[in-house]
């Protein structure tokens, strides 16, 4: 294993095994991913498959999967190390990994014995790449507004509709699709169901992937479902539990994964800017000798410290099995905001040279913008945090105290304990 070099501030959260993993992923990212970045940037509309295959060979899609099911059982801090350190080199590679990991949460928490036995080893060994398809073109972040529906025809569920902006849309082998299964008027918490839908099923379609603003090489596109027949065995969880599947996996895995992508991009921007201002001549010295430049660099450093601690603290709580939904939510939103604030400093401190489309800073800046929407926009996160704060003031039940407000880290405390990190893992 490579020699680790981890920030001292994270010593509280990182065991020697996490530190060794940190060294491993850094070496992998530098040797295997960095050479692919130029190729991915040069062809923005092209979906890269090689990165997903390389990640699969490391077994990293199984980072939180129990050893008994073929995984690493290394826990949420280890998952964060993987996503964070990959994002430092390539936001797209980190996005490919994190998008494949969110549905693993759904499978771990809601899969029945047969589904877990069939799928978890295949996912861990990299033979099956998952996606989770919730968002729709018109409903956006409002899960309850979805129109994709599955109807029971007496023998099978028949699924019709379209999903949009789905991570790994064009390379996943199996999609966890959340669809409406109850008549209008049913509460969202009971109206939706999650289904396992193989990508090669008749009726599953995709448009040609269109180039996006950032994360070149990663696909987050549209998937269509035209009367796709699904056997009852491929219902994930109970009929009517689709909202719980979507929401819990987004909070427990999606939020911290996106916090980690933002963190890696933030570090890339900070390191490049420090290097740049310290080597760019100005007057008799360097740009870094100027007080105003130092002030901006110091502000970037402060934000980076904050985002790091917040992100690792939240996932450490998850590994400890203590309630932490609010910390996961805060980490996602603050890590994104901090990264974008520092990204602006990075762009401006690089002056005109930041504007070369092929440059690292432009890539990092574009990629940072893409961590705002997934797993809940900033407004959605702040609404959740405000609701939680107000509930503490008013402990009596309120009309909106439905399943939407159960802390998932509490709800799944028992099941999370089953996959508690093995101290000998990694």
Ligand X SMILES: Cc1cc2nc3c(=O)[nH]c(=O)nc-3n(C[C@H](O)[C@H](O)[C@H](O)COP(=O)(O)OP(=O)(O)OC[C@H]3O[C@@H](n4cnc5c(N)ncnc54)[C@H](O)[C@@H]3O)c2cc1C
* Residue 351: exposure state from Cβ atoms within 10 A (0-12, 13-18, ≥19): exposed
CA distances from 326 to 144, 254, 274, 343, 386 (A): 21, 13, 33, 25, 10
Which two tokens mark 257? Answer: 């994964």
DSSP labels, 182-237 = S-TTS-HHHHEEEEEEETTSTTEEEPPPPP-SS-TT--EEEEEEEEEEE-GGGEES
Residue with the CB atom nearest ligand X in the bound state: 140
Stretch that binds ligand X, among 60-68, 77-85, 164-172, 331-339 (CB under 6 A): 164-172
* Binding pattern for the stretch 198-227 against ligand X, x by CB under 6 A and - elsewhere: -----------------x----x-------
| 44 binds ligand X per the rule CB under 6 A | no
| 99 binds ligand X per the rule CB under 6 A | yes
| 144 binds ligand X per the rule CB under 6 A | no
Options 23, 62, 91, 167; binder of ligand X; rule CB under 6 A: 167
| 380 binds ligand X per the rule CB under 6 A | yes
Q: Which residue has the tokens 């080597």?
A: 279
* Residue 181: exposure state from Cβ atoms within 10 A (0-12, 13-18, ≥19): buried
Total residues in contact with ligand X, by rule CB under 6 A: 20
336 vs 236: CA distance, rounded Å: 31
DSSP-based three-state secondary structure for 343: helix
To 5 degrees, how large is the angle CA 47–CA 48–CA 51? 150
| 188 binds ligand X per the rule CB under 6 A | no
Do 159 and 177 touch, CB atoms closer than 8 A? yes
CB 335, min distance to ligand X, A: 15
Stretch that binds ligand X, among 74-82, 163-171, 189-197, 412-420 (CB under 6 A): 163-171
Options 379, 398, 401, 418; binder of ligand X; rule CB under 6 A: 379
Do 81 and 18 touch, CB atoms closer than 8 A? yes
- Taking the least distance from each CB to ligand X, the nearer of 100 and 111 is 100
Options 135, 273, 335, 360; binder of ligand X; rule CB under 6 A: 135
CB 125, min distance to ligand X, A: 22
* Binding pattern for the stretch 338-377 against ligand X, x by CB under 6 A and - elsewhere: --------------------------------x--xx--x
Chain length of the chain: 426
Stretch that binds ligand X, among 22-30, 45-53, 130-138, 270-278 (CB under 6 A): 130-138
Q: Which residue has the tokens 């092209």?
A: 46
Which two tokens mark 127? Answer: 């033979």
- Taking the least distance from each CB to ligand X, the nearer of 25 and 133 is 133
* Binding pattern for the stretch 220-259 against ligand X, x by CB under 6 A and - elsewhere: x---------------------------------------
371 vs 169: CA distance, rounded Å: 17
Stretch that binds ligand X, among 84-92, 159-167, 275-283, 400-408 (CB under 6 A): 159-167
CB 162, min distance to ligand X, A: 12
CB 343, min distance to ligand X, A: 16
CB 384, min distance to ligand X, A: 11
Options 122, 134, 172, 318; binder of ligand X; rule CB under 6 A: 134
DSSP labels, 352-371 = GGGG-TTSHHHHHHHHHHTT
Element (H, E) at 158: strand 157-167
Please report, as residue ranges, which positions from 294 to 333 form the binding site for ligand X (by CB under 6 A).
none
Options 17, 84, 85, 165; binder of ligand X; rule CB under 6 A: 165
CB 171, min distance to ligand X, A: 12
319 vs 273: CA distance, rounded Å: 34
Residue ranges in contact with ligand X by CB under 6 A: 99, 131-135, 140-141, 165-167, 215, 220, 370, 373-374, 377, 379-380, 383
């Amino acid at each position: 294993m490579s020699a680790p070099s981890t920030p001292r501030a994270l010593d509280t959260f990182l065991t020697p095994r996490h530190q060794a993993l940190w060294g491993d992923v850094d070496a992998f990212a530098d040797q295997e991913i960095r050479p692919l970045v130029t190729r991915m940037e040069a062809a923005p509309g092209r979906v890269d498959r090689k990165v997903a295959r390389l990640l699969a060979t490391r077994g990293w899609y199984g980072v939180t999967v129990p050893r008994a099911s073929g995984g690493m059982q290394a826990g949420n801090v280890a998952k964060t190390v993987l996503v964070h350190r990959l994002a430092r080199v390539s936001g797209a590679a980190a996005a490919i990994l994190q998008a494949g990991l969110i549905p693993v949460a759904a499978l771990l928490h809601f899969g029945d014995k047969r589904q877990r036995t069939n799928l978890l080893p295949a996912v861990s060994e990299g033979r099956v790449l998952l996606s989770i398809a919730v968002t729709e073109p018109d409903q956006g972040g409002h899960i309850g507004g979805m129109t994709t529906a599955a109807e029971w025809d007496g023998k099978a569920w028949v699924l019709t509709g379209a999903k949009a902006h789905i991570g790994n849309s064009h390379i996943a082998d199996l999609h966890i699709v959340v669809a409406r299964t109850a008549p209008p008027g049913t509460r969202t918490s009971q109206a939706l169901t999650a289904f396992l839908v193989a990508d090669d099923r008749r009726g599953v379609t995709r448009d040609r992937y269109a180039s996006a603003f950032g994360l070149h090489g990663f696909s987050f596109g549209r998937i269509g479902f035209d009367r796709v027949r699904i056997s009852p065995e491929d219902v994930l969880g109970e009929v009517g539990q689709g909202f719980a599947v979507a929401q819990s996996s987004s909070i427990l895995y999606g939020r911290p994964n996106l916090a980690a992508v933002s963190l890696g991009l933030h570090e890339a921007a900070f390191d490049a800017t420090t290097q740049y201002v310290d080597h760019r001549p100005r007057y008799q010295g360097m740009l870094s000798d100027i007080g105003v430049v130092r002030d901006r660099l110091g502000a970037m450093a402060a934000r980076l410290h904050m985002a790091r601690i917040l992100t690792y603290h939240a996932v450490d709580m998850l590994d400890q099995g203590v309630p932490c939904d609010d910390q996961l939510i805060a980490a996602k939103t603050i890590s994104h905001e901090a990264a974008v604030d520092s990204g602006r400093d990075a762009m401006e401190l690089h002056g005109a040279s930041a504007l070369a489309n092929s440059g690292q800073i432009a890539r990092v800046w574009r990629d940072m913008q893409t961590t705002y929407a997934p797993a809940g926009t900033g407004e959605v996160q702040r609404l959740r945090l405000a609701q939680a704060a107000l509930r503490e003031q008013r402990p009596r039940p309120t009309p909106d105290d439905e399943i939407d407000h159960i802390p998932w880290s509490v709800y799944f405390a028992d099941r999370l304990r089953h996959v508690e990190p093995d101290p000998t893992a990694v």
